[in-house]
Structure 1
Amino acid sequence: MKKILTAFLFVAGSNAVLADDVAIKNKLQALGAQNIEINASPITGIKTVITDEGILYITEDGKYALQGKLYELTAKGPLDVNGKVLINKLNSFKNEMIIYPAKNEKHVVTVFMDITCHYCHLLHQQIKEYNDLGITVRYLAFPRAGMNAESAKQMEAIWTAKDPSFALNEAENGNLPKEVKTPNIVKKQYELGIQFGVKGTPSIVTSSGEVIGGYLKPADLLAALEG
């Protein structure tokens, strides 16, 4: 009897949580949100909700929502919780990334980049210097002008080339792909960038999920990663 009661209470509790999640999802869908994923948050009574337009923090009754960065205050300083929520999703894109590995790897960063971006070009010109400092650089595409931009179609051709690294190197040397493609892979990467709050390129994501907005010289990036 005790086991049955315990099982009943477990199921009842699970159904209550599910009901709350369904209510939250229905409300957000009615407001136009898509690709909704609901998880627990570090704050009691609040849910973490990942949508196609970013992360929300919503009360369990679905009445109130907060949008913006959530930080954990640690002895080492504020830690971006939003990035921690998304880091596993980011790493699931590994097979789609264009990766320039460091031989003696100390750090791994993921860079949302655009082939039309001057500072992305500057970063890419120094890729060997980042690698020599032990920084592996992984690229994801983020067309700044949106999914209808020519650069989105060009980056799709680069990311789906037989040798994406070579194709990207060529593009950064001014030899853009002659063929353009419907940006299916790029669309997924762009949407992930939106969830991370990326608004410009390059946006550098650390292995802990922290977003460093903007270009940093190799030595400055290393200092930021080890600071």
Structure 2
Amino acid sequence: MKRYATAALLGAISLSACAQPQAPGADAKTAAAPAASVAGTQPKTTPGTPDAKAVAAIRALNQQVPIDRVGAAPMPGFREVIVGGRTLYVSDDGKYLIQGSLYDMSVKKDLSEASLSKLRKEMLKQVPISDRIVFAPANPKYTLTVFTDIECGYCQKMHSEIAEYNRQGIEIQYLAFPRMGLGSQDHKKMIAVWCAADRKQALTAAKSGKSVPMKDCKNPVTMEYDLGQRLGLTGTPMIITANGEQVPGYMPPQEMRSYLDKLAESAADPKTAAASG
């Protein structure tokens, strides 16, 4: 029983860090790119400290899973560890591990999501605007980062309404996430989009089912795919606000504007935020 419980936990914390199976014909250099980045992800800790024990506990389950942050948890006796887009809690002695959201009943706030939002915001800052495909109105009220795929139905639907999102004052900044995995035809098509002379036109064509001339160049597609996994992406489109909060999923433009307005109101009024949870 202990063995099966450990296996289940291992799978849970490694899910977002595991790439899709390597596609037939994918070369070893391309397939290995995210793994190299993930393997180098680990916070610095001092031996013997609660932080070091927490990292050691995670590494005992999985040597490769990315650990992006470790520090004091909001509850005493535990460390908060962000692992592959998930928040875990490990006891200071490294003996116990808790999965799931930590909810503060006094203020009705999900503390786990708050920590993830902060990390997402910091990590997304590392992606320059030149590596994104941006559709923006003249004076945007809100900016969303969207991990997208050209084959995903909801990604296609969202993009078909891009002009209306812009009319609603919403800027969309796309990052690439070829959901079929590295080396797949999907991956190659997304590289072609990012290598096109007019990326916006190429992305619109690809999402409309039109062919895009296959090209290769120095591009951020693999890096963005890796980043999406580290942020806990489980499906496309993954939509993230400027504050790092993850939007539940696709919403029509007017509904999205209303949702963002409510988030802004909650942020401006702590009492409203507490009431809304």
Partner of 2:69: 38
Please report how far the alpha carbon of residue 152 of structure 1 lies from its aligned counterpart in structure 2 after TM superposition: 1.7
Change (3 A) 1:132 1:56: same
- Pairwise mapping of residues 10-159 of structure 1 onto structure 2 (< 5 A)? 19-30=49-60, 31-43=62-74, 44-52=76-84, 54-71=86-103, 78=110, 80-95=114-129, 96-159=131-194
User: Matched residue of 2:220: which SS?
Assistant: helix
Query: Higher strand fraction: Structure 1 or Structure 2?
Result: 1
Partner of 2:206: 171
Please report how far the alpha carbon of residue 163 of structure 1 lies from its aligned counterpart in structure 2 after TM superposition: 3.2
CA contact (8 A) 1:111 1:202 kept: yes
User: Matched residue of 1:129: which SS?
Assistant: helix
CA contact (8 A) 1:55 1:195 kept: no
CA contact (8 A) 2:136 2:170 kept: yes
User: Matched residue of 2:94: which SS?
Assistant: coil
Q: TM-score, normalised by structure 1?
A: 0.77
CA contact (8 A) 1:38 1:47 kept: no
In structure 1, runs of 5+ residues without a counterpart are 1-13
CA contact (8 A) 1:112 1:140 kept: yes
In structure 2, runs of 5+ residues without a counterpart are 1-43, 263-277
| One-letter amino acid of the structure 1 residue matched with residue 242 of structure 2 | S
Please report how far the alpha carbon of residue 223 of structure 1 lies from its aligned counterpart in structure 2 after TM superposition: 0.8
Please report how far the alpha carbon of residue 129 of structure 1 lies from its aligned counterpart in structure 2 after TM superposition: 0.9
Change (3 A) 1:75 1:99: farther
Change (3 A) 1:151 1:224: same
CA contact (8 A) 2:71 2:80 kept: yes
Partner of 1:9: none
Please report how far the alpha carbon of residue 205 of structure 1 lies from its aligned counterpart in structure 2 after TM superposition: 1.0
